[in-house]
Every structure is written in C-alpha cells, then in structure tokens.
Amino acid sequence: MESNILTILIFLPLLGVLAMFFAYMLKQEDVIYKYIALITTFVQLILTGWLYNNFDPNLVLPINNSVTPTNFVVQLPWIESFNIQYFIGVDGLSMPLVLLTSLLMFICILASWNINKYVFAYFSLFLLLDTGMMGVFLSLDFFLFYIFWEVMLLPMYFLIGMWGGPQRHYAAIKFFLYTLFGSVFMLLAMLALYYYTTPNTFSLTTLIVEAPKINAELWGMDIRYLIWIGLFIGFAIKVPIFPFHTWLPLAHVEAPTAVSVILAGVLLKMGTYGLLRISYPLLPFEAINFAYTLAILGVINIIWGAVNAIAQIDMKKMVAYSSVSHMGYVILGMASVVSTSTAGAQAGLNGAVMQMFNHGTITAMLFLLVGVLYDQAHHRWIVYPDNYKDQEVAGKLAFGGLASQMPIYNALIIIAFFAGLGLPALSGFISEALCFIGGFSAFRTITIIGTLGILLNAIYFLRAYQRVFTGKLNDKYKNLKDISNRELITVVPIAFFVFLFGVYPAPLINMIKYSIENIITIFQAAM
C-alpha cells in the first residue's frame, strides 16, 4: 500500500462518486449518498493520518532533477511525446495541507447532513472537489498540477450556483470568471517554461534546475519576468491578493456553510502553496526582485481586509473579509525570504506555512459556527440593514444576549474569535508572530504598519461579540437551542488543533522545517 498511498488519496473520492452513481441507478434513498461520502472522507482521513505517521520530513521536493521514486514519490511516464509524467510526492510543504484537506472534507460532509436538494449531485461534486484539491497538493508535474487546479473550478461553481443564497448565480459566475482569468495566465506561464527549457519538460524537479537558466526576451522583456508575472496573477487571484480579492466576500456570503469552509479553509491556500511550490524555487531571482512589492501587497491585504470587516453587518461577510486580512500575514511572511538574516527568513516562511494551516482551521471553525446560528435564526445580521423589510427593526441590533441562551455555543465562538484575534495559547498567535518577526527582519517600516491589523482585528471581532452575545436577549430568539451533538462533532476537532498548535507547535514546525530550509538555500544561492 505504501507505494500507492498517494494515488489512493487522490482518487479515492472518485471511487465514492462511482459508488454514488451505482446507488443512484438503483434508486436508493438520499441518505445513502451522505453515508457513502462520509465513509469515503473518513477512510481518506485515516489514510492521511497513516501517511503523516510514516512520511519522512527530511525528504524535500523538489530538490533537484535526480529525485528517484520512493515510498512516497511516484514517477511514471504518462504522455511521453510531450515528456508529461504522472509525478506525485509529499514533503513538509504539502503534508500540512493534505492533512487540512482530509480533516475539513470529513467535517464538511457532516456539516452538510441537512442538505436535501439534489443530494446525489451535491455530494458527488464535493468528492470531485476533494480529488482536485488533493491532486494539486501532491503533484510534482506542472501539467498534472494544472489539470487538478482546473478540476476544482467546476465543482465549486456548481456548489455555489445551485446551493447558495439569493445572489448565488452572480457569485458563482464571478468566482468562475476570476479563477478562469488567472488560469489563463498560469497556462501561458506553464507553456513558456516548457518551451524555453532544455529539455522540454513539466517536471518541477527538473524545472527547478533549468528554469533559472532561461535566457530569452519577449516584447523587449526578460521571459523569466513575464513567466513570474503570469504565475503570480494565477496564484494571487486564488489567495486572493489585493486587488484580485473582490470575488471572495460575495462567494463566501452566498455559498452554503460547508462550501464556505472548504473555500476559506483549503482553496485560498492553493494560491500561496503554488507560489511556494512553483514560483519561488523555479524563479528565485524574480521572486527576490518582487519581494518588496509582495510585502506591500501583504500589508494592504492585512489593513484593507480588516477595515472592510469592521464595516460589515453580516457576520459571514465579516469572517470573509477577515480571511482576506489573515492571508495578508502569509504573504508578508513569504516576502521575508529575502531577509539578510537566515533566522528572519526561517521565521517568516515558517510563519507563512503555519498560518496557512492555522487560518484553515480557525476560519473553518468560524464559518461552521456562523452556519449553526444561521440554521436556527435564518439570518446572520449583526445589525439589521437600514433597508430591512421590517422597518421597526431596521438599523437595530439583530441578536443580543445569546451567551445566556446558548452557553456551549458561546464558549466555542469565544475560542474562534480569540484565535482569529491571534491571542496567546491559540494557534493564530504563533504563526502571526513568526510572520511579523520575519517581515520585521526584511521590511521594517512596512511590517510596523502591518501590525495595525492586530488592532483592527480586535475591533471587528470584539464588536461583533458584544453586539450578538452580550446584553439583553432579544425575545424573538428565546427559543434558540444550544449547539447540537452533530454540530459539536464538526467543531470540537478543529478547536482541538487550534489549542494544540497554540501551546505545542512543534509537530507542525518539525513537519515543515526541512522544506523551508531548502527554499531558503535556493534563495541564498540566488542572492
């Protein structure tokens, strides 16, 4: 099984889809599709745990063009005429995100248990999305990476467009067009890498050696710089980095709860993962020249996302803009790779990768908890909008006093809000602190400005808590029930990781450190 474990992780969800199809042909009850999806994602989670327990963090990919197949590296010819390979592997950079994907997919299936509309289609699309995400994190052939990247597009489009809110069609189309726009630039960059390298290849382990040797111009510009820009646009839209962020809040607001969890928890990380896996090792000179701009964009993300979050009266939209802000920390940490201090560069990149995982868990917890409230109250207003249909409550607080009505839910939302704030003993603190340490070692003034994001985070989280959970209980909501056992099962495992990596981050740091050191080595050689 060891030699096939990565392939199983990628394609197991498709077996689940096939099983659903047979159940559909046999006209089984809708609940069968839910159980098939649940069992599939549970098995995937167990296999991922086994993979984590057995993989070697010392194996760094890509390291050079001499990587040979091991238990957790599979390299087979695929389309030989174009030197395209079925080339997959796992290292410290991808392992945390594989774990995150498996965990959140299982939880999202549980969170989707109340879906009763087109049940077969919903859970089939979810599993197809799972295959795409796993494929992206495990691919070491750029062509294969691109295929899985595109595979994710259609399931997410339909999940938002069919099961979303009132503006779901507009949100789905906007998401589709933005992502497709970025994919075009990525495709052009990929083809340029293939065309201008010798030998012509899509293998990332070969491109890491050959791409820096490219010496050609197009329209009077260095082709490597154009490739960098193409890749950056493709990945920046997915993060999203300002000014490509406008699709995100609407997609989050209109998407069903489980889809929002996957969108914020996993899909946003694909952009930053793509930069670390492809752009950084293949084009270190261009990354060095772009680092200052990247740091500025990261700080803009931090401030802009937080300011917009403060302005929101919809709790879900507030969390969506908080994601824009918190991904800014990742960008700032990544930019610090150019620090003259090796310790600073290590802190920044460690913080960036840790923040990718930690933000995935924290924001998943936030969206799940907002969804719990929405399922009962049927709205997410912090303050009723001025044009609300009921003019008697327009502009007034929507909830108030929920802490006494829903005590267990209140305790969990406090944990989620405080983790989002980056308070000590919770996972967000360590990763954000490392991003700032790295950023300060490379871009002192920019990073100081970025720390304003901490204060702004406190404003929107604490104000939302004060308005929704403190004060007098609104009589309209005196029948609200506390969080159910099924909902607890979805939230508590995430809360466990929020606490674990807040007080004991060593497992996460040990998982990623060798891959981070490899990236720093590449950049030090380039500088």
Q: What is the 3-state secondary structure (H, E, C) of 170-229?
A: HHHHHHHHHHHHHHHHHHHHHHHHHHHCCCCCCEHHHHHHHHHHCCCEECCEEHHHHHHH
Contacts of 115 (CB under 8 A, 6+ apart): 34, 122, 123, 163, 256
CA distance 248 to 175: 8
230 shares a domain with 340: no
Last-in-domain residue among 234, 260, 282? 282
CA distance 149 to 143: 10
433: left (phi over 0), alpha (psi -120 to 50) or beta: alpha
* Degrees to nearest 5, angle at CA 239 with 460 and 40: 100
**295: closest CA among 439, 437, 448?**
439
395 shares a domain with 264: no
335 shares a domain with 278: no
480 shares a domain with 345: yes
- Residue 459 has a pLDDT of 92
**346: closest CA among 518, 210, 484, 468?**
518
234 shares a domain with 308: no
Q: Are 452 and 329 in contact (CB under 8 A)?
A: no
Q: Distance from first CA to last CA of the chain, Å, rounded?
A: 42
- The number of helices, as runs of H, and strands, as runs of E, in the chain is 23, 4
Q: Are 285 and 265 in contact (CB under 8 A)?
A: no
pLDDT value at 157 more than 70? yes
Of residues 105 and 117, the one with the higher pLDDT is 105
Chain-centroid distance, C-alpha 348 = 18
pLDDT value at 96 more than 60? yes
> HSE (CB half, 13 Å, CA atoms) of 523?
27
% pLDDT > 90, the chain:
43
C-alpha distances (whole Å) from 171 to each of 47, 157, 174, 234, 251 are 35, 9, 5, 19, 5
457 phi and psi angles, rounded to 5 deg: -55, -45
431 shares a domain with 370: yes
278 shares a domain with 320: no
- The boundaries of the domain holding residue 350 are 289-527
pLDDT tens by residue, 245-303 = 888 888 888 888 899 999 888 998 999 999 999 999 988 889 899 899 999 999 999 99
Q: Which of 40-49, 64-73, 186-195 has the lowest mean pLDDT?
A: 64-73
Structure-block tokens of residue 33: 């599709």
Last-in-domain residue among 248, 264, 282? 282
pLDDT value at 187 more than 50? yes
Chain-centroid distance, C-alpha 147 = 18
Q: Work out the pLDDT band at 25, boundaries 50, 70, 90.
A: confident
Which 8-state DSSP code applies to residue 246? Answer: T
Last-in-domain residue among 266, 282, 298? 282
466 shares a domain with 418: yes
43 shares a domain with 178: yes
Paired residues of 397 in beta bridges: 383
pLDDT value at 369 more than 90? yes
370 shares a domain with 263: no
- The CA radius of gyration of the chain, in Å to the nearest whole number, is 22
**Mean per-residue pLDDT of the chain:** 88
pLDDT value at 80 more than 70? yes
224 shares a domain with 87: yes
Structure-block tokens of residue 382: 């912090």
Q: Please count the structural domains in the chain.
A: 2
Q: What is the pTM of this model?
A: 0.91
Q: Are 270 and 511 in contact (CB under 8 A)?
A: no
429 shares a domain with 364: yes
